[in-house]
Amino acid sequence: MDSRTIVLTGVTRGFGRETVELLIRERPQDHYVVLARRGGERLAAELAQATGASAVTGVDCDLASLAEIRRAVEEILRGLDTGYLPPLGGYLGNAGLTVTTTEKRTTDGYEMTFGVNVLSHYLLVRELLPRFTGPGWIVLTSSDCHFGQFRYTLGATPPPRWETPERLATPRAGGAREAGRAYATSKLGVIYLAHALARRLPESVGVYSYNPALVAGTDFFRHAPGPVRGVLNGFFQLQRFLGRGMTPQQAGARLAETILTGLTARTGSYLDRGRHVPSSPESHDEAREEELWREAARLADADRRAERADILDE
């Protein structure tokens, strides 16, 4: 198979890092573009050294900044236009975060969880969309917490509460419980994005939402206070002991295997650790999906409209 460019987010640490190292080892002929908040070139060098592959490029990109996302996309497009990068064939949107308050803001003033977990992937994929060539794939990491049921979360995460995208993007007062709800809601939004994308992509490019299940031993809760972080990490370790979770190595191997051999389900599918299973009934709502696509465009382009207005006022 010809070499392709694969764009990846959320591969600095944890199971994302394990996934990309396995992908590079199995498909060294592809060119991997890794986006990292800072030190993208350093991350690329680390991955190249770990895998023995040279076709790894790092791009600095803060996913909490719309301007940074656009700058990163422009860099990728220049590489595609000049032939430095082969045709675009894949995108892994693994980046995501959870914070301890719904008051935290992105650079553009949006609620942090929604801004990074939903808006950033929308903008990256939208800007790259015309350049995908088949056979291609887009994988967006979701979570089974979007079901909002005790058997998936054991009460650790409140169920999602969908509202208008404008409301979800608005910072608001709320502590750890509301922040957990914002996380679950953002993962529901990821599935809505996948469904909206499935209606817009060519037949030769598939899009999937992927649930890695509970992954213990990661730095996922690095934003939480020390005592809270200890409790949550302990909870994840317990779930792994009970057979409900995986190590980063196990989760990374499962996701890499799914990408390399298992993306055969119908586009728009929800993959639970590689298996095509139904997502929640609430996650199938075309009206919400299309509203999110439209409103994400408005929110993501707000900074550019403000720039134009400033220019006209000068």
Predicted pLDDT of residue 312: 44
In a domain, 73, yes or no: yes
In a domain, 79, yes or no: yes
Amino acid present at 54: S
Q: What is the pLDDT of residues 251-282, one digit of tens each?
A: 999 999 999 987 999 999 999 999 999 999 99
What value, to the nearest 5°, has the Cα angle with vertex 251 and ends 249 and 255? 115
CA 221 to chain centre: 16
pTM score above 0.85: yes
In a domain, 128, yes or no: yes
The mean pLDDT of 21-44, rounded to a whole number, is 95
C-beta contacts of 236-242 below 8 A and 24+ residues apart: 239/154, 239/214, 240/214, 240/216
CATH number at residue 279: 3.40.50.720
In a domain, 153, yes or no: yes
In a domain, 92, yes or no: yes
In a domain, 198, yes or no: yes
Q: How many domains does the chain have?
A: 1
Above 90 in pLDDT, residue 98?
A: no
Above 70 in pLDDT, residue 248?
A: yes
In a domain, 146, yes or no: yes
Predicted pLDDT of residue 236: 58
Cross-strand bridge partners of residue 207? 138
57: phi then psi, degrees, rounded to nearest 5: -120, 135
Binned at pLDDT 50, 70 and 90, residue 302 comes out as confident
Binned at pLDDT 50, 70 and 90, residue 214 comes out as confident
Predicted pLDDT of residue 247: 85
In a domain, 232, yes or no: no
Binned at pLDDT 50, 70 and 90, residue 192 comes out as very high
The residue behind tokens 């009934």 is 281
Binned at pLDDT 50, 70 and 90, residue 121 comes out as very high
Above 60 in pLDDT, residue 47?
A: yes
- Please spell the DSSP secondary structure of 130-147, one letter per residue: GGEEEEEEEEEE--GGGG
Q: What is the pLDDT of residues 150-186, one digit of tens each?
A: 877 777 789 999 999 999 999 999 998 999 999 999 9
Boundaries of domain holding 49: 5-213+248-305
Above 90 in pLDDT, residue 238?
A: no
